Amino acid sequence: MTGLGQPPAGLQTVLASGLRNWQLRAARWPWWAQVCGVYALARVFSLLVFLAVARHQGPSPWGPARPGYLDFIGIWDSAWYERIYREGYPAQIPRGADGRALENPWAFYALFPALVRAGNALTGLEWRVLAPLLATAAGFVAVLLVYKLFRQFAGHAPSLWGVVFVSAFPVSPILQVPYAESLNLALLAAGLYLMVRRRYLAALPVVVLMCLSRPVGVPFAAMVGLQLLWRIRRRERDPMPAAEFARLAALALVSCVAALAWPVLAWAATGDLRAYTDTEMAWRGGNLVLFKPWFDMGTRLFGPVGGILAPLVLAAAAALCLVSGPVRRLGPVLRLWCASYGLYLFAFLHPQTSTFRMLLPLFPLALAAALVSRSRAYRVCLLLMFLAGQIVWVTWLWSWAQLPGGGDYPP
């Protein structure tokens, strides 16, 4: 007699055999089909999570209760991108009576809405349909490039598991909504791949586009500069001909210029030197002081003593992660990128619930997670944790539920 709630032994055998046969067939697919299959399954799971949570969504600033899928994913910053798509950017920065900038579209980079506008001209499809399609398609391109990048450091199996972890990461539902994250991930993965392959001139247009999609230009420029210094320091063991030095130096220079492109464009369009920086401060409610927001948030969460120690412990943990064995296997470019981006977040970010989404560019660590152990049980357990995290993230942060003081935590 079988236990309560357990399928008969014969059914278990059939299911196990069917799963093994499916795995064997899938293993014979070309790498790109396996990668796309993994990503498609992850996005279907996220779709089901969105649909389930939308059924419990009450009225929100964007519409009535129980919205459909396309309406539900079109909220939060999606609405800002749609506004840019329809109206463009304001010629002046809106300011309050105290002179402080108000929230406005200049906080959001132009490449994603511009591509949707181009797609509209070609297909006639409107934002509501075209923007999620473009974001999802960019996600497919991103994971293909992520796999190609991971294969520079590991075999097929751990690289594919790295793609699994990127695809199922708790904030990965953002890759199928009208945000610029999937587009930026594709461009970032392409830029890092070209860096690893030392195709520095080919990386130039990719880096420029990346810097017009999301604000990752500063840490990327820092990474390229550090890589240049690293190559100079190791030139006796790893010779760097003059032509290669010139190409890498050119990429470093272009990266620095591109990192400043959006603030300069905002200045040129509005005549306001501080147009972009003041707009960013509108979401903070105060002036930027490097590193201070982390200690302020630490004090708020853990008290005066714990608030000082918590950011330092977090920074120490990040440093230990970067010198760990699995991360060292990623090579200098990816390690320098993770270090540069992590330092950028620590210096400039105002920590809040959106911080989880900001961790997505640290995607190379997904390969390190796959390299921690070859145990299938470990990898499957981590995958299940990520899938459960998606449910938590969508339910807690994407769904709107007004706080007692007004507003809600942003995703």
- More confident: 6 or 382: 382
Comparing CA positions, the residue from 139, 240, 243, 132 lying closest to residue 188 is 139
Answer whether residue 1 shows pLDDT above 70: no
Segment 356-373 mean pLDDT? 98
Answer whether residue 285 shows pLDDT above 80: no
pLDDT at 16: 56
Segment 347-351 mean pLDDT? 94
Segment 368-389 mean pLDDT? 97
pLDDT at 18: 61
Q: What is the pLDDT of residues 191-223, one digit of tens each?
A: 999 999 999 999 999 999 999 999 999 999 999
Write a three-state SS string for 343-366: HHHHHHCCCCCCHHHHCHHHCHHH
Answer whether residue 13 shows pLDDT above 90: no
Segment 107-124 mean pLDDT? 98
The percentage of the chain sitting over the pLDDT mark of 90, rounded to a whole number, equals 89
The pTM assigned to this predicted structure is 0.94
Record the tokens describing residue 130, joined without a space. Answer: 């075209």
Answer whether residue 24 shows pLDDT above 80: no
Answer whether residue 5 shows pLDDT above 90: no
Confidence tier at 23 by pLDDT (50, 70, 90): low
Q: What is the pLDDT of residues 157-184, one digit of tens each?
A: 999 999 999 999 999 999 999 999 999 9
Cβ atoms 82, 62 nearer than 8 A:
no
Cβ atoms 217, 264 nearer than 8 A:
no
Confidence tier at 17 by pLDDT (50, 70, 90): low
106's CB contacts (< 8 A; 6+ apart) are 89, 90, 93, 266, 270, 275, 276, 279
The percentage of the chain sitting over the pLDDT mark of 70, rounded to a whole number, equals 94
**Mean residue pLDDT across the chain:** 94
- Cross-strand partners of 60: 63
pLDDT at 175: 98
Segment 72-88 mean pLDDT? 98
- Cross-strand partners of 95: 101
Confidence tier at 22 by pLDDT (50, 70, 90): low
Answer whether residue 15 shows pLDDT above 60: no
Confidence tier at 286 by pLDDT (50, 70, 90): confident
